[in-house]
Amino acid sequence: MAHAMENFCTISEEYDIDGEVGFALPNPLENLPDVYNDWMFIAKHLPDLIESGELRERVEKLDMLSIDHLRDHKSQRLAHLVLGCITMAYVWDQGCGDVRKVLPKNIAVPYCQLSKKLQLPPILVYADCVLANWKKKDPNKNMDVLFSFRHTDCSKGFFLVSLLVEIEAASAIKAMRMQELDALRKALLKIASCLEKALQVFHQIHEHVDPQVFFNVLRIYLSGWKGNPQLSEGLIYDGFWKDAKQFSGGSAGQSSIFQCFDVLLGIPQRASGGSAAQFLQDMRMYMPPAHRNFLCSLESKPSVREFVLLKDDADLREAYDACVKALVNLRNYHLQIVTKYILIPASQKSKDKTSQEPSEQGNKGTGGTDLMNFLKTVRTTTQKSLLKEG
């Protein structure tokens, strides 16, 4: 088959995709070199510093540090996570509408320099807060997050459930070695199974994340400064850029795994035009460059859909549709989650006359999108890719 994925070891090495955790960073570092102890102290104590009102003062007193001591990829990724968390905390502080529009140069300069090196934007992205913000607590593989913003922000549940969904779905990547007809059919069934398991993991969010706490606390710290009326011109990164810059906050749209399945299965999300297609394209710049390159590599080859249509084999078509249906089910469930965790709390908050947040912002995603319209468009495009109706 023309689309045959190379040996997984080759893919893993070239595109930084791990055999166990997929696009997540395997075994992230938990500490930076000692020269960055002041950064680490603030990041590890964000809940207390925010609650006491000391956070901004502590950030403003930091020395300007060079990034030269961040010599390997994992230390650079940890530093990007640390500076991203500090930046979000500095901008939004206690989440009461007191927003800072200028990031001090002692943080802005090293953050922007590091972001340039990593080819990521200087804002907390999905690759930071989900893919690199985890550790194993014990030999039983129980997990915890490295950093959170508030003591009661349910970030552990939200970030770890997102990570586990990602890992479960990414386990399908190893099945993408399609040489012959029967092998491809089995690979598609494996992918469908992995997506079904990812959906089951997704259900755990109800056990670990409270809708009101997510909407009114954690979501604030994930919000970006693009399409956000509270920072309508963006954020000024003092000492690095003269003008304010606009960047989207971390969102599931920045996950490589689901764009990977769209490309692999020939689901024309980006060809559909409109704001959804543009948003998905824009979000690739928020992914690590190796993962962006992987998506481009997939796009340069014929899709599985083309091969399935060419062969006109009933069992192969059925296996293909099983994958698409599993993806549709995940996207339907995502819509339900957004209704429970964003739309309903936003509606309740809009009745609160004391709310500091513009009402229209409540219905937007942390990436700045019109969330429901975006997700419905993506879901509908996926549904239309089924070969058999019904």
- Residues 248-293 have pLDDT tens digits of 999 999 999 999 999 999 999 866 667 888 889 999 999 999 999 9
Report the 10 Å Cβ neighbour count for 178: 20
CA-closest candidate to residue 304, choices 141, 192, 208? 192
Using 50, 70 and 90 to split pLDDT, how confident is the model at 350? Answer: confident
CA-closest candidate to residue 282, choices 362, 327, 226? 226
Q: Please give the single-letter amino acid code of residue 307.
A: F
More reliable by pLDDT, 362 or 98:
98
Give me the pLDDT at residue 156, please: 94
Average pLDDT over residues 89-109: 97
Among the ranges given (301-305, 318-322, 352-356, 375-379), the one the predictor scored with the smallest mean pLDDT: 352-356
Among the ranges given (255-269, 322-336, 359-373), the one the predictor scored with the smallest mean pLDDT: 359-373
The Cα–Cα gap between 11 and 199 comes to 25
Mean pLDDT, the chain, integer: 90
Is pLDDT at 235 greater than 50 in this prediction? Answer: yes
Give me the pLDDT at residue 262, please: 94
Give me the pLDDT at residue 8, please: 57
Average pLDDT over residues 32-49: 98
Residue 3 known to bind ligand? no
Cβ atoms 190, 175 nearer than 8 A: yes
Average pLDDT over residues 129-144: 88
CA atoms within 13 Å, Cβ hemisphere of 126? 23
The Cα–Cα gap between 317 and 185 comes to 8
**Model pTM score:** 0.92
- Dihedral of the alpha carbons of 321, 322, 323, 326, in degrees to the nearest 10: 120
> In the 8-state DSSP scheme, what is residue 362?
G
Write out the two tokens for 158.
């939200």
Give me the pLDDT at residue 13, please: 79
Is pLDDT at 363 greater than 60 in this prediction? Answer: no
Cβ atoms 230, 91 nearer than 8 A: no
Cβ atoms 371, 363 nearer than 8 A: yes
The Cα–Cα gap between 195 and 33 comes to 39
Is pLDDT at 147 greater than 90 in this prediction? Answer: yes
Backbone angles phi, psi at 330, to 5 degrees: -60, -40
Is pLDDT at 116 greater than 70 in this prediction? Answer: yes
Average pLDDT over residues 102-122: 98
Using 50, 70 and 90 to split pLDDT, how confident is the model at 2? Answer: very low
Give me the pLDDT at residue 4, please: 42
> In the 8-state DSSP scheme, what is residue 304?
H
Give me the pLDDT at residue 359, please: 46
The Cα–Cα gap between 65 and 76 comes to 14
Cβ atoms 49, 42 nearer than 8 A: yes
Cα distances (Å, whole numbers) of residue 54 to 51, 57, 66: 8, 6, 24
Average pLDDT over residues 119-141: 92
Cα distances (Å, whole numbers) of residue 202 to 195, 220, 332: 10, 22, 12
Is pLDDT at 220 greater than 60 in this prediction? Answer: yes
Tell me the domains of the chain and their CATH numbers: 16-384 (1.20.58.480)
Using 50, 70 and 90 to split pLDDT, how confident is the model at 1? Answer: very low
CA-closest candidate to residue 220, choices 103, 380, 92? 92
CA atoms within 13 Å, Cβ hemisphere of 160? 21
Using 50, 70 and 90 to split pLDDT, how confident is the model at 362? Answer: low
Report the 10 Å Cβ neighbour count for 271: 9
The Cα–Cα gap between 247 and 326 comes to 32
- Written as one string, the DSSP assignment of 64-85 is P--STT--SHHHHHHHHHHHHH
Average pLDDT over residues 77-82: 98
Give me the pLDDT at residue 228, please: 93
The Cα–Cα gap between 263 and 72 comes to 31
CA atoms within 13 Å, Cβ hemisphere of 350? 12
Give me the pLDDT at residue 181, please: 80
The Cα–Cα gap between 9 and 31 comes to 28
At residue 260's C-alpha, the angle toward residues 362 and 246, to 5°, is: 40
CA-closest candidate to residue 118, choices 82, 162, 72, 163? 72
Among the ranges given (5-19, 41-55, 103-117, 356-370), the one the predictor scored with the smallest mean pLDDT: 356-370
Cα distances (Å, whole numbers) of residue 189 to 183, 302, 330: 10, 19, 16
What percentage of the chain reaches a pLDDT higher than 70?
Answer: 89
Is pLDDT at 388 greater than 90 in this prediction? Answer: no
